[in-house]
Amino acid sequence: MLIERLNRLPKEVLGRVKFIGSVADEMHMNAYVVGGFVRDLLLGAKNNFDLDIVVEGDGIAFARELSGKLNGRLAHHKAFGTATVVAQDNSKIDIATARKEIYEFPAALPKVTPGAIKDDLGRRDFSINAMAFGINKNNFGQLIDFYAGNDDLKAKKVRALHDLSFIDDPTRILRAARFAERCNFKISPYTLNLIKQAASHKMPEKVSPHRLRDELILILKENEPVKCVKLVEKICGFSFLHPRLVVDQKKISSLEKAAKVMKWFEDNFRHKRKVDKWLVYLMLLLEDLPAAEIRKTADRFAFRSGEIKRMLSFKADCKRAILKLKSELKPSDIHCILDPLSYEVILLILLRANNRSVEKNINNFLHHYNEVRILVGGEDVKKLGIKPGPHFKKLLKQTFHAKLDKGLKTKEEELEFLRRKAKR
Ligand code: CTP
């Protein structure tokens, strides 16, 4: 029973849901929790407590009132009748006016008019995401399931609600793969057929790229992204990303190996900056394209400049770094090669090298050299009577390299090194 599941939620989450319901009662509006929250609650897989609320009535007025009462921050999008309230504890409540959507042409953003909860649920992607429960006092915790979502949850099925679903919104093809793999569900045969039809009309190529990008990132951020990639390849392919992109068995085993290398990094280097795993997978997906094509694709999908830089660096620096790292090197040489590179690229070098020396050098860099800091600073150089200038930086760098190579231990040893260098 849904109400029992609700009662097992953390106290503050249940309290928040009841509070939102009480604001709806005061405003004489019907309010519902909808979408992923309901799905995950019924699956017993709840770990994300961001709320999606739909109200029958003016959603923005409701959000304004709620935000005031919660002392929260409000952002709204008038054209869609939606708003987001960010509460004091930074939890997010998305609020929407119950709406009907009309797609005037395929893959466009829909025209929106106010509607009732049934219309609102009927415009959604899959039956498992088209359930709601009431939060007003008179229907608190009552499941609203016009489209047999709960049956599909039990049957482990991803089923689209209507025949034009993937024509109206082709990003849903990627969503189907994501939910199927995440929940270990099957895409229903009829839905699969609809996906294949949409794919054969190249519908994904017609969506604005940033919407596809967001869904692709979500796929690559799933717990088992490689399974998702395989499924996307099977149901529609990746030509939406680039017409020459091939996801064959070789590519899949590359992705699988990358997953292992990233797990090794996570297990051993918890204290270090987190690796953007999704980006590593994407770099591997795009790897066979020429750099200019990767750049064009990255620009078209409006990835961030830091992300694009890392994608191109893999292409530009990986082979060269492997060649260098195969030889016998001083710690400072290893540091010079690896320090300018992102962890994402370093892990890919590890993956691609398949060579003991490279592995040893990267291991040493991550375990030791990357942690080393010198104890002397600009002030110490100044005290030696040296005027600030570019050689300042050079002297400190030389000291740092000496620390790596000669094992300077104390600040006194570093100062002594500095003094000798400065004299020359
Ligand atoms: N939705 C939709 N079509 C889309 C995107 C979203 O119908 N292209 C609907 C679904 O009902 C979904 C809800 O909007 O449940 C919220 O979308 P989103 O936050 O992306 O998905 P969640 O279901 O909350 O999934 P997740 O657990 O990944 O956040």
Range 265-270, long-range pairs (CB < 8 A, 24+ positions)? 265/343, 265/347, 265/366, 268/366, 269/366
Cα separation, 356 vs 404, in Å, equals: 21
pLDDT tens for residues 294-312? Answer: 999 999 999 999 999 999 9
Smallest CA separation from ligand 1 atom 16, residue: 35
Q: Name 112's bridge partners.
A: 101
> 137-166 burial, b for 16+ CB within 10 Å, e for fewer?
eeeebebbbebbbbebbeeebbbbbeeebb
**Nearest atom of ligand 1 to the alpha carbon of 123:** 7
| Lining residues, ligand 1, CB within 6 Å | 35-36, 52, 124-125, 129-130, 169, 171-172, 175
**Nearest atom of ligand 1 to the alpha carbon of 121:** 11
35 Cα: distance to centroid of ligand 1 (angstroms): 6
Q: Of the given ranges (130-139, 309-318, 347-356, 385-394), which has the lowest mean pLDDT?
A: 385-394
**How high is the pLDDT of residue 391?**
79
pLDDT tens for residues 148-164? Answer: 999 999 999 999 999 99
**Nearest atom of ligand 1 to the alpha carbon of 37:** 24
Name the residue of 42, 47, 124, 185 to mutate for ligand 1: max ligand atoms within 8 A of Cβ: 124
**Length of the chain in terms of residues written:** 424
Is the CB of residue 20 less than 8 Å from the CB of residue 83? no
Residue 93: pLDDT above 90? Answer: yes
Average pLDDT estimate for 214-229 = 96
**Nearest atom of ligand 1 to the alpha carbon of 218:** 28
**Nearest atom of ligand 1 to the alpha carbon of 172:** 8
Q: Of the given ranges (108-112, 308-312, 335-339, 419-423), which has the lowest mean pLDDT?
A: 108-112
Cα separation, 190 vs 306, in Å, equals: 41
**How high is the pLDDT of residue 134?**
97
**How high is the pLDDT of residue 172?**
97
Identify the helix (H) or strand (E) that includes residue 200: helix 189-200
Q: Is 8 helix (H, G, I), strand (E, B) or coil?
A: coil
pLDDT tens for residues 249-306? Answer: 999 999 999 999 999 999 998 888 889 999 999 999 999 999 999 999 999 999 999 9
Average pLDDT estimate for 381-398 = 82
Name the residue of 34, 38, 125 to mutate for ligand 1: max ligand atoms within 8 A of Cβ: 125
101 Cα: distance to centroid of ligand 1 (angstroms): 15
Smallest CA separation from ligand 1 atom 14, residue: 35
Q: Is 401 helix (H, G, I), strand (E, B) or coil?
A: helix
**How high is the pLDDT of residue 113?**
75
18 Cα: distance to centroid of ligand 1 (angstroms): 22
5 Cα: distance to centroid of ligand 1 (angstroms): 21
**How high is the pLDDT of residue 328?**
87
Average pLDDT estimate for 207-214 = 94
What does pLDDT average to over the chain?
Answer: 92
